Amino acid sequence: MTPGFACDIGAGSGRDANWLAQKGWEVIAVDPSRGMRELAIAKSHSNVTWLDDSLPELSRLRALGHRFDLVLLSAVWQHVPPSQRERTFRILTELLKPGGTLVITLRHGSDEPENRERGFHPVSAAELAVFAQRRAVVMRDPVTQPDQTRTHVQWETVVFSI
């Protein structure tokens, strides 16, 4: 994929945003945690701009009026309550330029006490497929892989194109 303009939503430590910036992307990194943003800004690539905002509204990001070649949600979707997901998916796809790509990684964890404690909701690619179909967005086949350190966690990457 040719570098362009990307948005990393729920950017956390900035790992993915910085990786994209090192590959030539201009990135807006969005995270609602002030403490996390402050730590991340201190070690951020010069092509990464940080923004205080959060799902599902992304009101500050949307007010900027940007459209992105790539929107990334890595390990974020399980935080979005099921009742807000379809609207959130619509907002995410509206942030894309024509020909843009949306990447969502889904966390599947089998430790129910941890899921409850951390406020994780169950997620599925099948749910996202329904949202994509309703918006006429192309969904590629999901790819699943185990977590590198936790045996009870698997990650599923789902890619959408406008």
8 A C-beta contact, residue 89 and residue 47: no
pLDDT of res. 101: 98
From CA 13, how far away is CA 63, in angstroms rounded? 24
> Chunked in runs of 10, what are the mean pLDDT values of the chain (162 residues)?
95 96 98 94 96 96 98 95 97 97 91 74 95 96 87 91 93
What's the pTM? 0.93
Rounded Cα distance between 51 and 69, Å, is: 18
